[in-house]
């Protein structure tokens, strides 16, 4: 099983930073020249593998080092093999969209994200009082820094390794918009390391907009993650983007300020979403949950929802990304994720089973039998009861985001908070239609 450690890379001096940027910029140049030669060959029906990559390696090894230049060419070859495999599937009718050949790196108009790759045996990561990373650079850059032929570039890194195991090819990235350097270290770990052989409990999720997630377990625990503050911040940044877009001159579609706002909006959402997944899965693992059910998203979206609700579903929540992240983290903890139909769960009374005559208003669900409860928690409980036997429910845990992590609160969202938002989305009763599978920011 493969996982990745992520670190911030922090060059110690202005000179070191300049050298690091040049190293990554040369990596983009080598990739682009290699890719250009292969695209030209592809367009003229020649073999892309006949491109003179040896000449290009010699051209750039003085800046990159031979091993890094070789890794970049090898990475480009992998991209072309992937393209050819997808192209075969397309012509065999197994893909709907025609794949495109590998693209170029470092487009300044889009805000450059430069990157390079270092072979697993050519870099060293040490975690001590001042953690550091050592990578190979070419002789030209060594001369500028006063390094001898056997030395490597040493830079400080910040972050703790989450995973330990056999290290893979290191990816280094410079984001020009954020002006940050990051390192991604793949590691191979024992796939059974986090399995829980005694786990046999189950859980179910109801995914929404005002409340991002409501979860119920067969142990009787319930968790509710409130999303109102997050969405308010998302809307505020969206309004800033619209303001600056209205001030653009003719023929301009974006600016660095707008690109940074888009990046800020996406990063904040992703950070909260990733933290939610980690917080929830760790709780489920502690309770011995081995199976987690999520709703089948077919038919989630309906035209009778309000534009504000559709904005939450499409742009803010990024449901498909959430499910992908949830599956990845659950895999770490040996929890199986299954998608099941969840129709009517938000309108079904958990006491008598009534659906047609229940009344949902904002976050509450009321039934003629006298039952009244939180609609999203009821939905997750009803969803779970369709899959497994459920005992009596304990007091729910309500969690809110404080820009760093999810903290528990003793009470659910107030009536004032609820009334400030539109009627809560009812994704369990919508007829079939299109759904938001991706992130519109990307």
List per-residue pLDDT tens for the chain, 442 residues long.
777 888 999 998 999 999 999 999 999 999 999 999 999 999 999 999 999 999 999 999 999 999 999 999 999 999 999 999 999 998 988 887 888 999 888 665 545 668 899 999 999 998 877 889 999 999 999 999 999 999 999 999 988 787 788 899 999 998 877 788 999 998 887 665 455 545 688 999 888 767 788 999 998 899 999 888 888 888 899 899 889 888 888 767 788 888 888 888 888 888 888 889 989 998 998 888 989 998 765 544 443 345 555 555 556 777 778 888 898 888 878 888 987 766 666 667 776 767 677 776 666 777 878 777 787 888 888 888 888 877 777 888 999 988 878 988 655 544 333 333 333 333 333 333 332 223 444 4
- The verdict on 165 and 218 lying in the same domain is no
Residues 325 and 358 in one domain: yes
Residue 17 domain flag: yes
Domain edge (last residue) among 158, 188, 218: 188
| 215 lies in the same domain as 160 | no
Same domain, 231 and 129: no
Instruction: Return the pLDDT at 266.
Output: 85
- The Cα–Cα gap between 241 and 258 comes to 6
CB 359 within 8 A of CB 414: no
* Residue 441 forms part of a structural domain: no
Structural domain contains residue 210: yes
Point out which residues pair with 211 in neighbouring strands.
Answer: 226
Q: What's the pTM? A: 0.59
Question: What's the pLDDT at 260?
Answer: 85
Whole-number pLDDT of residue 234: 87
Q: Burial of 94 by CB count in 10 Å (0-12 exposed, 13-18 middle, 19+ buried)?
A: exposed
Question: What total of structural domains would you count in the chain?
Answer: 2
Domain boundary residue among 157, 188, 219? 188
Tokens at 266, concatenated = 């996406």
CB of 20 closer than 8 Å to CB of 181? yes
Among residues 302, 377, 303, 306, the alpha carbon closest in space to that of 345 is found at: 377
End position of a domain, from candidates 162, 188, 214: 188
Measured distance CA(323)–CA(293) in Å, rounded? 11
Mean pLDDT, the chain, rounded, equals 80
Count of C-beta atoms within a 10 Å radius of residue 126: 11
- Is residue 327 within a helix (H) or strand (E), and if so which, with residue range? helix 319-332
CA–CA separation, 323 and 216 (whole Å): 17
Q: At what angle do helices 53-64 and 14-43 cross, to 10 degrees?
A: 170
pLDDT value at residue 207:
81
pLDDT value at position 329? 85
Q: What is the 3-state secondary structure (H, E, C) of 193-249?
A: CCCCCCCCEEEEEEECCCEEEEEEECCCCEEEEECHHHHHHHHHHHHHHHHHHHCCC
**DSSP track, 269-302:** HHHHHHHHHHHHHHHHHHTTEEEEEEE--TT---
Q: Residue 372: beta bridge partners?
A: 366
User: Do 246 and 350 sit in the same domain of this protein?
Assistant: yes
Q: Please count the CA atoms within 13 angstroms of the CA of 259 that sit on its side-chain side.
A: 16
Distance CA 215, CA 206 (A): 6
115/146 same-domain check: yes
Closest CA to 397 of 276, 231, 216, 273: 216
Return d(Cα 214, Cα 106) in angstroms, integer: 41
| Domain encompassing residue 81 | 2-188
Same domain flag for 286 and 205: yes
Residues 176, 117, single domain; the answer is yes
Closest CA to 34 of 100, 128, 105: 105
Spatial separation of the C-alpha atoms in residues 8 and 21, rounded to whole Å: 15
The strand pairing partners of 406, in sequence order, are 401
Look at the block and give the residue holding tokens 């199986």.
Answer: 336
**pLDDT value for 156:** 92
Residue 339 lies inside a defined structural domain of this protein: yes
Is 193 a domain residue? no
Instruction: Give the single-character DSSP code of 192.
Output: T
């Amino acid at each position: 099983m493969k996982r990745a450690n992520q670190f911030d890379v922090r060059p110690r001096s202005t000179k070191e930073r300049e050298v690091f940027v040049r190293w990554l910029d040369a990596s983009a140049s080598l990739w682009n020249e290699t890719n250009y030669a292969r695209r030209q060959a592809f367009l003229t029906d020649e073999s892309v593998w006949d491109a003179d990559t040896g000449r290009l390696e010699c051209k750039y090894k003085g800046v990159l080092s031979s091993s890094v230049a070789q890794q970049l060419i090898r990475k480009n070859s992998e991209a072309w093999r992937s393209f050819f495999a997808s192209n075969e599937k397309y012509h065999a009718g197994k893909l709907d969209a025609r794949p495109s050949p590998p693209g170029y790196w470092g487009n300044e108009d889009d805000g450059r994200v430069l990157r390079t790759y270092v072979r697993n045996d050519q870099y060293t990561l040490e975690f001590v009082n001042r953690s550091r990373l050592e990578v190979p650079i070419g002789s030209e850059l060594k001369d500028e820094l006063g390094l001898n032929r056997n030395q490597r570039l040493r830079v400080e890194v910040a972050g703790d390794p989450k995973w330990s195991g056999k290290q893979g090819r290191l990816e280094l990235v410079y984001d020009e918009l954020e002006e940050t350097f990051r390192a991604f270290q793949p590691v191979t770990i024992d796939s059974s390391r986090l399995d829980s052989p005694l786990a046999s409990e189950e859980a179910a999720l109801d995914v929404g907009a005002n409340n991002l997630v409501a979860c119920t377990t067969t142990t009787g625990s319930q968790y509710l993650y409130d999303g109102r503050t997050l969405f308010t911040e998302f809307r505020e940044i969206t309004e800033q983007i619209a303001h600056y877009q209205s001030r653009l001159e003719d023929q301009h579609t974006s600016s660095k300020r707008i690109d940074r706002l888009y990046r800020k909006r996406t990063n904040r959402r992703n950070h909260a979403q990733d933290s939610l997944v980690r917080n929830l899965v760790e709780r489920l693992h502690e309770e011995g949950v081995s199976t987690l059910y999520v709703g089948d998203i077919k038919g989630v979206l309906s035209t009778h929802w309000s534009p504000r609700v559709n904005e939450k579903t499409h742009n803010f929540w990024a449901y498909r990304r959430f499910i992908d992240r949830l599956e990845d983290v659950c895999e770490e903890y040996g929890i199986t994720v299954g998608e099941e139909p969840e129709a009517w769960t938000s309108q079904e009374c958990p006491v008598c089973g009534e659906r047609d005559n229940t009344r949902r208003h904002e976050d509450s669900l009321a039934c003629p039998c006298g039952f009244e409860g939180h609609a999203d928690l009821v939905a997750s409980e009803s969803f779970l009861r369709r899959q497994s036997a459920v005992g009596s429910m304990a007091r729910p845990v309500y969690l809110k985001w404080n820009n760093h992590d999810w903290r528990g609160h003793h009470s659910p969202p107030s009536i004032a908070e609820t009334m400030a938002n539109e009627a809560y989305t009812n994704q369990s009763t919508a007829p079939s239609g299109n759904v938001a599978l991706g992130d519109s920011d990307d």
